[in-house]
Amino acid sequence: MTHCGNLTSANKHWLIDLPPAGTYIFRLEVNQRLNLDFLSGQKNSMNKNVLIISALAFVALMAFIFVQSNTPAPTRAPMVSVTPIEVNGQTALGKAKFDDNCASCHGENATGLEGLGPPLVHKIYEPSHHADIAFMLAARNGVRAHHWPFGNMPAVDIEESDMQAIIAYIRKLQVANGID
Ligand code: HEC
């Protein structure tokens, strides 16, 4: 950069710190608009407000469409096929509690429901990856979406003993379907 050789270091600094040209064009436009608003009558400035509001509405609409296109519609279709199990005692209680509190999102027999909740009969939820405590915490605190694009799971108001029964039921379902 020989042609910069005779610049003082202060000048160089100023040159290096220049924001991208676009920033200036944008500032210029904003300034012009403000000036125009200031100089022109109220009608004109109202028109401009309408214009700005329309532009904002358009941006919001685009953002909405973008988010929508990245979130699968809740088709509620079962996500995996699960062989149901015979239940008795604790697992019978677990199934009843699961059907009441969890199946609306996780599906009957924990098959998952597309767009609502993941299948718990799934390798991700085998005991070595999601131990029983993870189930307890999921119900107690809810779950921030991290494995699936279905949004957060809300906390579920449920007795700890009922959760233990649900876990026993889910583990038995998992084993019967080759997940352990
Ligand atoms: C309103 C819908 C909804 C309900 C009701 C619901 N869940 Fe969930 N659950 C979800 C979603 C969505 C996820 C996935 C979060 C993610 O992206 O990892 C999830 C994840 C989980 C997980 C994984 C936790 C982790 O650490 O990754 C467990 C375990 C779980 N749910 C158990 C249950 C149980 C048991 C019940 C009933 C007591 C229940 N859920 C009720 C929607 C729900």
The mean-pLDDT minimum among 3-7, 122-126, 127-131 falls in 3-7
**What was the pLDDT predicted at 168?**
98
DSSP collapsed to 3 states, 77-106: CECCCCCCCCCCCHHHHHHHHHHHHCHHHH
CA-closest residue to ligand 1 atom 34? 102
Tens-digit pLDDT profile for residues 28-55: 455 555 555 555 556 667 788 888 888 8
Ligand 1 geometric centre to CA of 88 (Å): 24
What are the pocket residues of ligand 1 if the criterion is a CB atom closer than 6 Å to any ligand atom? 101-102, 104-106, 116-118, 130, 134-135, 138-139, 143, 145-148, 150-151, 153-154, 156, 158, 166
Write b or e for each residue in 123-159: b if 16 or more Cβ atoms lie within 10 A of its Cβ, otherwise e: eebbeeebeeeebbebbeeebeeeebebeebeebebe
Q: Residue 68: what residue type?
A: Q
Please tell me the distance between residue 110's alpha carbon and the centre of ligand 1 in angstroms. 10
Q: How far apart are the CA of 153 and the centre of ligand 1, in A?
A: 5
Structural domains of the chain ordered from first start: 2-70 (no CATH), 90-176 (1.10.760.10)
61-115 pLDDT, tens per residue?
A: 888 777 666 665 688 999 999 999 999 999 999 999 999 999 999 999 999 999 9
pTM of the model: 0.69
**121 by DSSP, 3-state: which?**
coil
Assign 12 a pLDDT band (cuts: 50, 70, 90): very low
Q: What pLDDT was estimated at residue 10?
A: 43
User: Rounded to 5 degrees, what are φ and ψ at 99?
Assistant: -60, -35
Looking at per-residue confidence, does 10 or 24 come out higher?
24
CA of 65 to the centre of ligand 1 (A): 26
- The answer to whether residues 106 and 135 touch, using CB atoms and an 8 Å cutoff, is no
- The predicted-structure confidence for 14-27, as pLDDT tens digits, reads as follows 445 555 655 555 45
Per-residue pLDDT, averaged over 152-179, amounts to 98
Q: What are phi and psi of 78, to 5 degrees?
A: -55, 140
